[in-house]
């Protein structure tokens, strides 16, 4: 949209401390009244030198650090890292570990999408779906707590296995939760996704075209919201995802052009239902076994480098590990999905209003821990 700017352009800082920037993000806005001429993101307020720390800690010790990257979906962050190291070392895990990892990853995905949906409602102005989403997320966190002792940052996926086994009736209770939870998603749709005002605020805003999305390296629900059906779990399966029967949720442009904020948000909601499908199948197939069977005594990968990517809730999470044969990583680089999504933000948000800026930022679902590392 070509915008004519009348009057003076005011510089406003949607500063590091702001209720709706989902973390410490600074947006330097140049506004003309309510219209945003330019929105330049400044990151780095949460930079904790993750990559430098990893060079000084041994391989199993990196796992708690990876938790703290994207703290809303810690299970998936750990999973990506241990899969990369296992690929480098050539470790084969047994089936119990494999299915448990899938169940935990999908539960983590549901928990993360519930945060995304709830806080997006908060940004748009409705405070009720936030509480409903968090009420359901509490049950998932209870599952995590009884298994590994922590609600948010787990250190559960270890290289070659898992920290602890789950309780004997875990599968039954997970299925009960999923049975209770699937109708709650319909409730959420009634109050938020199909709400007329919500649609008016998001369905014509922040259009991200597919070519622009691919060029900016956007992946995950943000890319699928633009209509590109690409999911690492289907296209380059890991952990045996090829044997599960599930669909990829893709934005179809129900209420506006494809690639709007509403599409990206709705892809997450539809994905939650697909996660429920996967969890049911995984629980049904869960065999008995020992989860620490294949954990190596000493992790010393051979010399070389590896790149492994997994589907984190926010997109495609990639770990690039360079090993020089010692017990500590020589170089560990993380390609975080939110980092690439944020790089597309400036282009998508030209010429919109301030309220739309908040809507676009919320629809990208960023977590600053992952962007800044």
Partner 1 sequence: MESVDQLLQLIPYYDLLPEIIRAMMPAFVGCVIILAGLLLTILLLVWFERKVSAHIQDRLGPMEVGGWHGWAQTLADGLKLLLKEDIVLDTTDRTLFKMAPFIVFIGAFAAFVVLPFGASSIISDLNIGILYILALGSLAVVGIIMAGWASNNKYSLYGGMRAAAQIISYEIPAAIAIMTVIIPVGSLSMVEIVNAQQGGIQNWFIFRYPPLIFLAFVIYFIASLAEVNRTPFDIPEAESELVAGYHTEYTGIRFAIFFIAEYANMFMVAAVITTLFLGGWTSVGPTDSQVIPGPIVFYIKAVVLILAQMWIRWSLPRLRVDQLMYLSWKVLLPFSFALVLGVGWLAVYA
Partner 2 sequence: MTPQEIAALLSEQFEDRVLESKTDEINPWSDVKSEAVLEVSQFLRSDSRLRMDHLELLGGVDYKENLEVVYVLFSMEHRHRYTIKCQLSKESPSLPSVESVWRVANWHEREAYDMFGIEFEGHSDLSRILCPDDWEGYPLRKDYVFPKSYRDMPV
Q: Does 335 bind partner 2 (CB under 8 A)?
A: yes
12, 175, 191, 306: which one contacts partner 2 (CB under 8 A)? 306
The interface region with partner 2, picked from 40-48, 141-149, 239-247, 281-289 by CB under 8 A, is 40-48
* Two tokens, residue 338: 């939110």
| Strand order from edge to edge, sheet including 10-14 | 10-14, 26-32, 35-42
Q: Does 235 bind partner 2 (CB under 8 A)?
A: yes
71, 134, 170, 339: which one contacts partner 2 (CB under 8 A)? 339
Nearest approach, Cβ of residue 188 and partner 1 (Å): 12
240 burial via Cβ count (<10 Å: 0-12, 13-18, 19+): middle
Interatomic CA distance for residues 200 and 87, integer angstroms: 46
Q: Decide whether 88 or 114 has the Cβ nearer to partner 1.
A: 114
DSSP labels, 282-313? HHHH-----TTTT--SS--PPSEEEEEEEEET
DSSP labels, 223-283? HHTTT----HHHHS--TTGGGS--PPP----SSSSTTSHHHHHHHHHHHHHHHHHHHHHHH
Task: State phi, psi for 275 to the nearest 5 degrees.
Answer: -60, -40
**Nearest 5°: CA angle at 342, between 154 and 32?**
135
Q: Does 316 bind partner 2 (CB under 8 A)?
A: yes
Which positions ≥6 away from 137 have C-beta within 8 Å?
111, 114, 115
Q: Which does 197 bind (CB under 5 to 8 A by kind): partner 2, partner 1, none?
A: partner 1
Interatomic CA distance for residues 75 and 77, integer angstroms: 6
Q: Does 191 bind partner 1 (CB under 8 A)?
A: yes
Stretch 24-63: interaction string toward partner 1, x if CB under 8 A: ----------x-----------------------------
Q: Decide whether 180 or 307 has the Cβ nearer to partner 1.
A: 180
Q: Which does 283 bind (CB under 5 to 8 A by kind): partner 1, partner 2, none?
A: none
215, 252, 290, 325: which one contacts partner 2 (CB under 8 A)? 215
Q: Which does 273 bind (CB under 5 to 8 A by kind): partner 1, partner 2, none?
A: none
Interatomic CA distance for residues 210 and 323, integer angstroms: 36
Q: Does 363 bind partner 2 (CB under 8 A)?
A: no
Which spans of this chain sit near partner 2 (rule: CB under 8 A)? 43-44, 47, 49, 51-52, 87-88, 212, 214-217, 228, 230, 235-236, 304-307, 309, 316, 318, 320, 322, 330-331, 333, 335, 339-340, 342-344, 347, 372-373
């Amino acid at each position: 949209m070509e915008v004519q700017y009348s009057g003076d352009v005011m510089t406003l800082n949607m500063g590091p401390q702001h209720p709706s920037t989902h973390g410490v993000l600074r947006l330097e806005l140049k506004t003309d009244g309510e219209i945003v001429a330019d929105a330049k993101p400044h990151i780095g307020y949460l930079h904790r030198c993750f990559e430098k720390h990893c060079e000084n800690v041994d391989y199993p010790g990196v796992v708690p650090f990876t938790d703290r990257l994207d703290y809303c979906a810690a299970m998936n962050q750990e999973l990506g890292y241990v899969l990369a190291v296992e690929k480098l070392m050539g470790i084969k895990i047994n089936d119990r570990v494999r299915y448990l990892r899938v169940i935990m990853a999908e539960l983590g995905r549901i928990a993360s999408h519930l945060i995304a949906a709830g806080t997006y409602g908060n940004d748009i102005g409705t405070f009720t779906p936030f509480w409903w989403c968090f009420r359901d997320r509490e049950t998932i966190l209870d599952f995590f707590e009884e298994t590994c002792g922590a609600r948010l940052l787990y250190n559960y996926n270890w290289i070659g296995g898992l920290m602890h086994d789950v309780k004997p009736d875990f599968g039954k209770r997970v299925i009960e939760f999923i049975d209770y939870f699937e109708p709650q998603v319909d409730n959420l749709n009634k109050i938020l996704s199909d709400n007329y005002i919500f649609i008016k605020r998001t369905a014509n805003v922040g259009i991200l075209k597919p070519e622009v999305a691919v060029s900016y390296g956007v992946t995950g629900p943000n890319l699928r919201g633009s209509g590109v059906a690409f999911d690492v779990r289907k296209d380059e399966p890991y952990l045996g995802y090829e044997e599960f029967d599930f669909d990829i949720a893709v934005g179809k442009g129900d209420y506006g052009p494809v690639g709007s904020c509403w599409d990206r948000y709705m892809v997450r909601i539809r994905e939650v239902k697909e996660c429920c499908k996967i969890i049911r199948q995984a629980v049904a197939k869960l065999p008995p076994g020992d989860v620490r069977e294949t954990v190596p005594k000493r992790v010393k990968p051979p010399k070389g480098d590896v790149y492994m990517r997994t589907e984190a809730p926010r997109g495609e999470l990639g770990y690039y590990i360079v090993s020089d044969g010692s017990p500590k990583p020589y170089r560990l680089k993380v390609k975080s999905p939110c980092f690439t999504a944020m790089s597309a933000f400036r282009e998508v948000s030209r010429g919109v209003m301030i309220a739309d800026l908040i809507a676009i930022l919320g629809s990208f679902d960023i977590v600053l821990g992952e962007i800044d590392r």
